[in-house]
Amino acid sequence: MLSSIRKFSTSWYAKILLGIIVIPFIFWGMGGVFTGGNKNVIVVIDKDKFSTQEFANFVRSQQIANEKINSERIDQFLSTFIGSKLIEKEYNNFGVKLSDNSLSKLIKIQKEFKKKNKFSRTKYEEFLIFNNLNAVSFEANLANQEKKKQLLNFIGGGIIPSKFIVNDIYNKINQKRKIEIINLSDIFIKEIVFPENEIEVYYENNKEKYSEIYKSLKVLEINPKKLIGTDEFNDIFFKKIDDIHDLIIQGAKLDTIINEYNLGKAIIFKINKFGKDSNYKTINDLPEVLVKNAFLI
């Protein structure tokens, strides 16, 4: 069917007919030829004649607003027009029909025409107005589209699938799986039950695995307010920081430094190497690097 379209559109006959259309388009536009009721035949398919007026109406329905039409675009329109007529003859030959009742149902299931999940006549009318359509032409076009769809489904339904596809689908539908379920609770009860004396012996022989080192850290935050009585990070503050650093190098204890500079009370944390206390709660006030360095000592 599609090959017929291609052969016709590339034939001399099609080019001659195309010339008949293009020349008026170039010199006078569409109005001079198509709007005057010209009944010249543009194409004949199985003794059915289609006029230039039909083709003009088709072009108008397909044309984009303000689109400039040249000979190449007319050629595309003509091929599409012939193709649509060939498909139309095909579904008529196969007796594909769409009743008014079916068309009505088809319109009512369109999402664009629904309001609160129900068909709305107002929505339908708004759609027609917004797209500059009338109900007769829209419904005719929708009916043709549905007939084409049914024709393609009819033709496609007769194609025999390959043996591989048939076997693959069959295997997916009829595949079987053998599943064994193991109740782990029964295994734990039977095999992972140890007498008390075995547990004690194991613990005594592996005490090091259950021991954890905790260290006490005495932490003091030094800021300008505590050290020099102001919030400013000035030269005096940094001079005193250098003095404290020298005292630490000399081996001075933290309590000695606190008393000498009246820094207040230090906070004591008891933590493991993960920065957690005896309740295994993370101490967020301690930087990770400080914890790491404490356990390197």
Tens digit of each residue's pLDDT (9 = 90 or more) over 111-140 = 888 888 888 888 888 888 887 778 888 888
* Domain-located, residue 172: no
- Check residue 106 and give its pLDDT: 87
Could you report the per-residue pLDDT of 163-189, keeping only the tens digit for each? 887 888 888 888 888 888 888 877 776
137, part of any domain = yes
* Closest-CA residue to 147 (of 103, 213, 203): 103
Predicted local confidence at residue 17, as pLDDT: 44
Q: Are 141 and 149 in contact (CB under 8 A)?
A: no
Are residues 120 and 104 part of one domain? yes
Within-domain flag for 264: yes
User: Which one of 46, 68, 93 terminates a domain?
Assistant: 93
Rounded to 5 degrees, what are φ and ψ at 216?
-95, 125
**With contact defined as beta carbons under 8 Å apart, do 69 and 25 qualify?**
yes
Structural domain of 256: 213-294
Structural tokens at position 155: 């033709």
103 and 87 both lie in a single domain:
no
Using the 3D structure, point to which of 93, 119, 135 is the last residue of a domain: 93
Distance CA 236, CA 215 (A): 34
Task: Tell me if 172 sits within 8 A of 115, measured CB to CB.
Answer: no
User: Any idea what the Cα angle at residue 278 is, between residues 274 and 280, rounded to 5°?
Assistant: 55
Residue 176 lies in a domain: no
Burial of 278 (0-12, 13-18, 19+ CB in 10 A): exposed
DSSP 8-state symbol, 159: S
148 and 236 in a single domain? The answer is no
Residue with tokens 């048939």: 166
Q: What residue ranges of the chain have pLDDT lower than 70?
A: 1-39, 63-66, 156-160, 189-192
pTM of the model: 0.36
